[in-house]
Amino acid sequence: MKETLLKIWQDAWPGIKSTQALPTGEGVIDESAFNTLEVDKVFDAVNYASTTIGQAVLYRSLARPLDNLDDVQAKQEAVRELGDNPQLTTALAHVIEHAASQETDFYRLLFGHFVGTLTSASESHEMDGYGYSQYKKGVRFMLELVEEIQALAPPKSPYLKSLFDKITAFADTRPYSLMKGPMFLTEKGIQCKEERRGSLLPAVIFVPRIIKPLLLALAFVAYWLGGLFIPNEMKPDLPQEAIFLTPLLLLYFPIVGSFDRDKCIVPLRNIYKNSEAVGETLDALGQLDELLSFLKFAEHFGHCVVLPTLIDSPHHRMNLDEARNPVLSKTYNDYVGNDLVLDDEKLMLVTGPNSGGKTAFCKTITQIQLLAQIGCFVPAKAATLTVADRIFYQVPEISHLNDGEGRFGTELKRTKDIFLATTEKSLVVLDELSEGTTFEEKMESSTNVLNGFYRKGNSTVLITHNHQLVDYFVKKKIGMPKQVEFANDAPTYKLVPGISRVSHADRVAKKIGFSKEDIDNYLAETK
């Protein structure tokens, strides 16, 4: 069972980016791929969720994408139903917006810090007084969420229906009954009305307010009875109201308030915080918000988006028509789309000068694969792909040299980890191979590695300046060579068939002001 976000948060104030990628080989992406794919930026690009739990669910989906075809298709079906049913979408959006306005009240109840009766709360995670107001607002959030979902027409798609059912099923749980009240403090602990049914044990009914009419009535009766047995000449010469109110003000509020806070509110919030039912209900709310976020992303992206067609295949496949980068396309309206066909040909070799768009293209296809596997729209005119069990993107990590192996050894270890974790259903992008050694050794090592991936059967994309390496595979009729296109010495950002044999290093050096002429000028100026 998937760990709920409430379980992940536990003793910390709820955070959106609280889910970590799984270790290599245990999830679709690992920490290194998570960072290289710039998942934080992908999240920012697609995040239109209104609630904290919705944003946290979306972030969790990106950090731990689905690897099962049926699960992804179920989410897609839910997105389609919402897209085809504006009435349901509008009603659900209203529920989500209402939840967003009350959500912090619930988190304050579960995770807030009491600041004392004489101090006013100044932060969202603080509670003043004895917690009565925060308790009532917090439980109201959950109770109204259940009522509002119950009032909606049931959806048809299984995934969407399961989320509705999880929320409405919360009404049959012990935490819901405690929230609904009444609740009883007994020698066995806090009990709800169902647990008290038929019990003759004495109990204190908890009412979340400081003024308790029954308790005050008993105090008045006690005072009246006491007055019957005190001779008139012994009674103080003060109004009866003053005799009663003075000790009440001094003792009633701190005694009753502290008792309710320590014996009722704090134990109740611990019950809620550790409840699997509460966690699943919150997650379901977040998953509904995530689905609406997908629709809003599609509406606001500004370019063509599509729910990809998912197919089952013995090995990874991916066909894209005018694919755009989900992050960069939001910044650059004129971002150039590219086509991709990774079908029976499982190896693509991408060459070309720096700043031509090689890396952007490879991040585009891996980020699209990632979005597809959370059930989201992808930026393309058309997309057909399989669900990848692993998505890897290797880049040189000079800052992580270890074991005294140097750059070559460190990168080769990462490549080995990727190789061992992949299957024929994986997508692997390698940005250069075998750096930090001689050309001859680089050729031999890179050839061995690529042959290994090719024989394993996964989709592999290599970014390289080493056109001799590409020549080797083309001669063996293995791989699909692509190069970034240049026109008039400027990149068009289009990928076209072929092998690039130029680096345009001088053009780049001139662009950043560090060509041979620039160096000569700098040295001349310092003389």
| CATH code, domain with 31 | 1.10.1420.10
Average pLDDT over residues 57-81: 97
245 and 327 co-located in one domain: no
Q: Provide the percentage of residues in the chain whose pLDDT is more than 90.
A: 60
**Which pLDDT tens digit goes with each residue over 156-187?**
999 999 999 999 999 999 999 999 989 888 88
Q: Which of 207-211, 229-233, 411-415 comes out lowest in average pLDDT?
A: 229-233
Q: Which pLDDT value is given to residue 249? A: 58
Residue 187 makes CB contacts below 8 A (sequence gap 6+) with 201, 202
251 and 324 co-located in one domain: no
Which of 44-48, 219-223, 408-412, 464-468 is predicted most confidently? 44-48
- 354, part of any domain: yes
Rounded to an integer, what distance in angstroms lies between the CA atom of residue 40 and that of residue 294?
16
3-state secondary structure 29-59: CCHHHHHHCCHHHHHHHHCCCCCHHHHHHHH
109 and 219 co-located in one domain: no
Q: Domain tally for the chain? A: 3
Residue 316 makes CB contacts below 8 A (sequence gap 6+) with 342, 346, 385, 386, 388, 424, 425, 426, 427, 458, 459
Q: Higher-confidence residue: 521 or 86?
A: 86
59 and 93 co-located in one domain: yes
- For the cut 50, the answer to whether the pLDDT of residue 274 exceeds it is yes
488 and 522 co-located in one domain: yes
- For the cut 80, the answer to whether the pLDDT of residue 118 exceeds it is no
Position 201 confidence tier, pLDDT thresholds 50, 70, 90: confident
**Which pLDDT tens digit goes with each residue over 259-271?**
888 898 999 999 9
- For the cut 50, the answer to whether the pLDDT of residue 41 exceeds it is yes
Whole-number mean pLDDT of the chain?
87
- 468, part of any domain: yes
- 68, part of any domain: yes
Average pLDDT over residues 418-446: 85
Rounded to an integer, what distance in angstroms lies between the CA atom of residue 319 and that of residue 314?
16
By C-alpha distance, which of 391, 447, 429, 436 is closest to 411?
436
Taking each helix axis as running N to C, give the angle between helix 158-169 and helix 132-151, from 0 to 180 degrees, rounded to the nearest 10. Answer: 140
259 and 282 co-located in one domain: no
Q: Which pLDDT value is given to residue 245? A: 55
CATH code, domain with 367: 3.40.50.300
By C-alpha distance, which of 424, 442, 426 is closest to 434?
442
426 and 310 co-located in one domain: yes
167 and 310 co-located in one domain: no
- 382, part of any domain: yes
Q: Which pLDDT value is given to residue 224? A: 47
| Burial category of 398 from C-beta neighbours within 10 Å (exposed 0-12, middle 13-18, buried 19 and up) | exposed
356 and 399 co-located in one domain: yes
- The domain boundary residue, chosen from 230, 264, 298: 298
- For the cut 90, the answer to whether the pLDDT of residue 207 exceeds it is no
13 and 38 co-located in one domain: yes
Q: Which of 117-131, 292-306, 395-409 comes out lowest in average pLDDT?
A: 395-409
Rounded to an integer, what distance in angstroms lies between the CA atom of residue 145 and that of residue 281?
9
Helix (H) or strand (E) holding 393: strand 391-394
- 146, part of any domain: yes
- The domain boundary residue, chosen from 298, 332, 347: 298
Which of 26-35, 248-257, 491-500 is predicted most confidently? 26-35
Spatial contact of 401 and 413, defined as CB atoms under 8 Å apart: no
95 and 135 co-located in one domain: yes
The DSSP call for residue 487 is: E
**Which pLDDT tens digit goes with each residue over 442-459?**
788 889 999 999 999 999
Q: Higher-confidence residue: 172 or 354?
A: 172
By C-alpha distance, which of 184, 189, 98, 89 is closest to 141?
98
130 and 27 co-located in one domain: yes
Three-state DSSP class for 143?
Answer: helix
Q: Higher-confidence residue: 234 or 346?
A: 346
- 178, part of any domain: no
Q: For residue 457, what are the domain limits? A: 304-526
